[in-house]
Amino acid sequence: MAKAPSLREALRVRPGSKVDLATFDTGATHGRRKDTAAATLAKDLDRLTSLQDRLWAEGRHRVLIVLQGIDAAGKDGTVRHVMSAFNPMGCPVTSFKVPTPRELAHDYLWRVHPNVPGDGEIAIFNRSHYEDVLVVRVHGFAPKERWSKRYDQINAFERMLVDEGTTILKFFLAISKDEQRQRFQDRVDDPSKRWKFRMGDLDERKLWDEYRAAYEDMLEKTSTDGAPWFVIPADRNWFRNLAVATIVADTLEDLDPKYPPVEEDIPKGFVVE
């Protein structure tokens, strides 16, 4: 039997391909099993810890991880479960919220650029500049003449970051409409989760089809070789965590970060007094 393709290959949106989220299986597990997932995830998290330590020590590569998804898709959970493998010192997380008046008084990339990763850093965007072709498009916060140009602008911006030494990974967490309903219900019922729920979330939910079209366009127009999108089946948290952890770890492994050489030769068996 042929070896199953890696999740990195299986879930990547190939540049120029069509994306149909209406038929996408948000509960897919790609042959992974829940009962062995915890052990596999633990291994991947160990890989991530070790790779990030070397990446930070080497101070050469810059890595940007973008998380997008509809409300309750699991963006926060992904940060908590996967990125917990990283030393927070080298791993700034930025959550992009409704723009402030000062942010709105500038172009949409103005608030983004200062938060991209520096040498040795893995920066995480919880939402991102993609909101400016998602929520902004769906609600008409900017006219079509403005937002429709942004796909090319974003590709150019990300291309510049890549050319300057940044590795970019973008994850779209895909859940079904019914899974979102259940998660909202959980938030309503569980006092420790209620703070995450706003009645306004239901207005967004009514725009499900409009968001789906906006996500499809985003995925089709902005998945590039240098800055690929991955569509993660995210109805099952265990699979979502496993998929994101594996893809990030495989990518960091390719960068092959190395501890820097010691400045002077330290004699073998040198004793510190």
Stretch that binds ligand AMP, among 13-21, 51-59, 128-136, 144-152 (CB under 6 A): 128-136
Task: Look at residue 96 and give the partner it binds from ligand AMP, Mg ion, none, a contact being a CB closer than 5 to 8 Å depending on partner kind.
Answer: ligand AMP
Q: How far is CA 54 from CA 3, 50, 141, 260, in A?
A: 30, 6, 43, 8
Query: By CB under 5 A, what part of segment 252-271 binds Mg ion?
Result: none
In angstroms, the CA 10 to CA 243 distance is 10
131 interacts with, out of Mg ion, ligand AMP, none, CB within 5 to 8 A per kind: ligand AMP
Distance in Å, CB of 236 to ligand AMP, minimum: 21
132 binds, among Mg ion, ligand AMP, none (CB under 5 to 8 A by kind): ligand AMP
Which partner, Mg ion, ligand AMP, none, binds residue 238 by CB below 5 to 8 Å per kind? none
- CA dist 94 and 91 (Å) reads 10
- Map the footprint of Mg ion across residues 55-84, applying CB under 5 A: 71
Question: Least distance to ligand AMP from the beta carbon of 133, Å?
Answer: 9
- Short-list 68, 65, 20, CA closest to 251: 65
When asked if residue 215 is in the footprint of ligand AMP (CB under 6 A), the reply is: no
Instruction: Tell which residue, 44, 123, 63, has the closest CA to residue 257.
Output: 63
Which of 204, 175, 178 minimizes the C-alpha distance to 77?
175
Stretch that binds ligand AMP, among 35-43, 125-133, 156-164, 230-238 (CB under 6 A): 125-133
| Cα–Cα distance, 188 to 7 (Å, whole number) | 34
Beta carbons of 248 and 169 less than 8 angstroms apart:
yes
Q: Is residue 98 within the footprint of ligand AMP (CB under 6 A)?
A: yes
Q: Which is nearer to Mg ion, 71 or 158 (CB)?
A: 71
Question: What letter would DSSP give residue 257?
Answer: -
* Binding residues vs ligand AMP (CB under 6 A): 96-99, 127, 131-132, 135-136, 141
